[in-house]
Amino acid sequence: MEIDVASDSGSEGRFVCFSLSLLLNQVYSFTFCGLYYYEARRRFRKVRAKPQRKFKPVSDQEDDEDDEEDEAPRKRVRKKKVKPRDSDEEEDNQSVKRKSSKAPRKKAKEESEEESEEEREKRRKRGTDLSKKKKEDQNKEKKGNVKGKPNKNMGGDHDKKKKSGKLSSSSSASSISGEESLSEGEIAALKEQVEEKKKLIATLRNKPWRMKKRLVLLKDAQGFVETFEGALGKGKGKKLYAFKVLMTKILMGLPYGSIPRKTVPREEQDTAMDFSVLIDFGVRKVAPCSNLHSFDAYLYQQGFCKYSFLFYGYYNNDRTIGVLKFRLPLSYLLVGVGIFGYSLMVVIRTMARNSNEGGDGGEEGEFTFSWKMFTSWDYLIGNPETADNKYASITTSFKESIVDEQENQKDENIHLRRFLRVLANFLITCTLGGSGYLIYFVVKRSQDFAKMQQEKLSWLEKNEVEFVMSLLGLVCPPLFETIAELENYHPRIALKWQLGRIFALFLGNLYTFLFALFDEVNEKLEKEKSIRNATIWNLQQYHANYSSYFNTTDVPPPNVSPADVIRGPCWENAVGIGFVKLVVSDIQVSYLTILVGDFLRAVIVRFLNYCWCWDLEAGFPSYGEFDISGNVLGLVFNQGMIWMGAFYAPGLVGVNILRLLSSMYYQCWAVMCCNVPHERVFKASRSNNFYMGLLLLVLFLSVLPVVYTIMTLSPSFDCGPFSGQDKMYDVVMETIEQDLPSFLANIFTYATNPGLILSAVLLMLLALYYLNAVSKGYQRANLDLKRKMKMARDEEKNRRNNKDSTNQVMKDLEDLLPNKCLIPPPIAEEPAPLDAVITKGSKSPKIKPGAAVKGVNLQKDVSLAAPNPRAAVTCAPRPRGGPPGNSRGPQPGPGRGRGQGRPPRRHEL
């Protein structure tokens, strides 16, 4: 960037002189263009073609450069504005002129292209020129370079800087022309520039500039990068291509029907593919059904799904499969556990990002009115009806805030309110407890039912658990809402309470269900033992019989069809089935609710309204409201069920994806056709950490039981990938022992030593404590800074008269005023003498910000920046230069975007 700085900050006279010498030296320079022979030739031709242009575009070229370095022109413009600008007219004129010169964009483009080339050439030539003329300067330059690098932004004395900048430009240019040996520093500087340009290109879209300016800048920067990057031997930029590792096969192991666990047992085969049975995959059957003619009999068979890949039992326990030695049991375990880890990471990261963005409402109440004013309108609204709703809701919310504000002063009967709140909480706790007990009772009863004759049970009795759970989920939330009326909380707080309660209800129900399930699992484990013993005994019998009959010790395995093998109860499958049933019934209930509760209601309200005694639409039933927060909560809860169930029923994930996809369209339809917007819109956006917090809690709570079963219960002996192991995690141990080098196994043994783990936990606790303390400290510091900032702002008002606004954002803001983006900056003046500055300093206090005429002029006088470092001007202002990249780049030195080179005199030696 220094090149540009230098050429830009150069005074007019110098510039002309330079270009003259450049022209003279043109020929020389071309002879040196080793690397860029071709390009040079091209350019040479161009220049030859119109040699007279060379001089004329001086101003033009300056424009161009100025565009490239947005800093410079602005600063100069500003400088000029020290004298109060008479009006916009001048500016308008300028811009008009400019426009007329640039209006035909094609021409402008062409020009800029040529100009940039010329410019480059000039730089190069300047280099040769200088290098010839001033040998001794180069020594200086090197010094300057070395020195100048770290504080490039700060800059030295402006005169000096100009020189060193020029010199460095010369040197970099010469380095390209290959005339002299390249010093590393120069290459580095050039590289830096290229990087800066690249960064500019990458961030261009984030800048608040007019599109025209952006396009011009982009062109320049691209030209620069292309030219110099090649010179640095980098090519078009190295791109890293990520290689995708493709699984050649999805290895599921043996296909259906090859081994017992993948086969439907003989007695169930007749009915396994019937549709009703497919849906009814879960029902446990004890006795083979004798009465095949009765319809009920079909219903109670076990379905095909139970033996499909949807469930745990389908997967085998072969250590490795296929040529690739795919370790199915190991990957099953690792994926199952890895999903938890990944989900945890995603949730935590989202939460962290949300809180970084400050959108978690931590400072609620600080900006009630201003937020309502500036951020409440949803720019997405394009529908007149929605717009009307929004207007109304904004008006109400303003009115409510006003009332709140007025009520803040009043105090009321606090005892009554407290009593009511306690009462409400008591009632809700009772409801929660009752629902928990109900579920426990029902689950217990269903276990009794399972032992009875299936045919005797009605549909209701068989599906009682799911039915009751769904019903509770349907009835309780409205009940809570009614009770919450007692509390008389602020709506937002009330909503959170409500959501918290519903959440507690869901979770309580789920956990009760889970405990009941555990009872069943233990029962099954008992049963499994006896079946296992029986099987072993049978096998021994078979062996004994076979050897005695054929008189041989070489006994072949018994020839039994996979469908006829005796098998254990496989508790894992039972758990998986439980969850799948839960999810499926949840889907059914929610779909039915929408159909009945929303659609039917809407139809009735709409059409019966013609012949009813009161207004149905405005009165009692009215249309259903779309309850955003409730729906989000439903999603959260659903996700929890998936997390819990996915380990024992991998297919659940797929089922859930289908459910989510279909429910998106279904609910979309329902919302569009039969719902009215919620009276009080509460944003349930992603940026809300409340929901993310709930999700995190759910995740934690669903990990618990799964990890518990993995760590403590022993897997079934004849089903699932872990069959035959004592514990599920033995798979990992086995892999470590057999497939990894022994030293790794040793390391693992050490790492799992309780002593080590304990100390690690201790360390983590200490770190937690430390970080907590640190964050508290930061909070305090934050508050402190806020106070200081306020003080500083007050102070700053006194210094407002200092015009030289140095804030980048402020400049951009000014720049966005109509017709200002491309104003040619005033020609750089000669560095003002020191006394001029003094007069300026003494004059400025007279111009008061408020007293400025009006409108556009005003902002010129007032700085948005933090206390202006230039308050006390001690040195001559220099025409500032500096490309945009510079001001934003990670340059050393404080005050980014602030006056490019605040030249501390001591830097210049």
Q: From the CB of 886, what's the least distance to other proteins, in Å?
A: 18
Q: Residue 408 and residue 282: Cα distance in Å, rounded?
A: 58
Is residue 206 involved in binding other proteins (CB under 8 A)? yes
**How many chain residues touch other proteins (CB under 8 A)?**
79
793 scored as a contact of other proteins (CB under 8 A) = yes
Task: List C-alpha distances in Å: 732 to 158, 330, 333, 596.
Answer: 68, 6, 8, 50
The mark string for 210-249 relative to other proteins (x by CB under 8 A, - otherwise) is: xxx-xx--xx------------------------------
Residue type for position 846: K
How far are the Cα atoms of 353, 525, 714 from residue 708, in angstroms, in the given order?
Answer: 31, 16, 11
CB 867 to other proteins: min, Å: 11
Interactions with other proteins, residue window 398-457 (CB under 8 A)? 398-399, 401-402, 405
Q: In the window 48-107, what residues touch other proteins (CB under 8 A)?
A: 103-106
Instruction: Determine if 660 is a binding residue for other proteins (CB under 8 A).
Output: no
Least distance to other proteins from the beta carbon of 857, Å?
A: 9
Q: Does 687 bind other proteins (CB under 8 A)?
A: yes
- For other proteins, give the closer residue by CB, 398 or 546: 398
Touching other proteins, residues 688-717 (CB under 8 A): 688
Cβ closer to other proteins: 374 or 614? Answer: 374
CB of 813 within 8 A of CB of 872? no
Of 85, 77, 83, 75, give the one whose Cα is nearest residue 846: 83
- Distance of closest approach, residue 888 Cβ to other proteins, in angstroms: 11
- 529-568 residues in contact with other proteins (CB under 8 A) are none
Q: For other proteins, which residue of 37, 55, 342, 369 counts as binding (CB under 8 A)?
A: 369
Nearer to other proteins, 138 or 805 (CB): 805
Residue with Cβ nearer other proteins (11 or 393)? 393
The tokens of 340 are what?
Answer: 């938890």
Tally of CA atoms within 13 A in the half-sphere of 559 that contains its CB = 3
Rounded Cα distance between 285 and 578, Å, is 15
Task: Write down the H helix ranges in 134-183.
Answer: 135-148, 158-177
Judged by CB under 8 A, the chain residues 370 through 409 that form the site for other proteins are 370-384, 386-387, 391, 394-395, 398-399, 401-402, 405
Measured from the CB atom, the residue of 398 and 591 that comes closer to other proteins is: 398
Secondary structure E strands in 589-748:
624-625, 675-676
SS3 content of the chain, % helix, strand, coil (to 5): 65, 0, 30
Give the phi and the psi of residue 217 in degrees, each rounded to 5.
-60, -40
Cβ atoms of 821 and 212 within 8 Å: the answer is yes
Spatial separation of the C-alpha atoms in residues 806 and 880, rounded to whole Å: 11
Nearer to other proteins, 163 or 212 (CB): 212
DSSP type of residue 832: P
Judged by CB under 8 A, which stretch of 70-78, 121-129, 438-446, 814-822 contacts other proteins? 814-822
Residues 817-836 that bind other proteins (CB under 8 A): 817-819, 821
Select 302 or 688, whichever has its Cβ closest to other proteins.
Answer: 688
User: Segment 320-359, which members bind other proteins (CB under 8 A)?
Assistant: 357-359
Q: Which residues in the 624-643 window bind other proteins by CB under 8 A?
A: none
Q: Which is nearer to other proteins, 292 or 402 (CB)?
A: 402
d(CA 40, CA 33): 7
Which residues have a Cβ under 8 Å from the Cβ of 416 and sit 6 or more positions away?
A: none
**Residue among 204 and 525 whose Cβ is closer to other proteins:** 204
Q: Does 854 bind other proteins (CB under 8 A)?
A: yes
Q: Which of 51, 208, 288, 845 binds other proteins (CB under 8 A)?
A: 208
What mask, x for binding other proteins by CB under 8 A, covers residues 102 to 131? -xxxx-------------------------
790 lines the binding site for other proteins (CB under 8 A):
yes
Q: Which two tokens stand for residue 175?
A: 């380095």
CB 615 → other proteins: shortest distance, Å?
24
Which one of residues 136, 366, 448, 835 is an interface residue with other proteins (CB under 8 A)? 366
Shortest distance, position 121 Cβ to other proteins, whole Å: 23
Q: In terms of C-beta distances under 8 Å and separation of at least 24 residues, what long-range contacts does 61-64 make, across chains too?
A: 61/115, 61/118, 61/119, 62/8, 62/15, 62/824, 62/827, 63/98, 63/824, 64/111, 64/112, 64/115, 64/116, 64/119, 64/216, 64/220
- Read off the tokens for 359: 């959108």
Q: Could you tell me the CA-to-CA distances from 514 to 543, 564, 641, 646, 651 in Å, in that order?
A: 42, 32, 11, 14, 19
Q: How far is the CB of 36 from other proteins (least distance, A)?
A: 22
- Note whether 794 binds other proteins by CB under 8 A: yes
Residue 856 interacts with other proteins (CB under 8 A): yes or no: yes
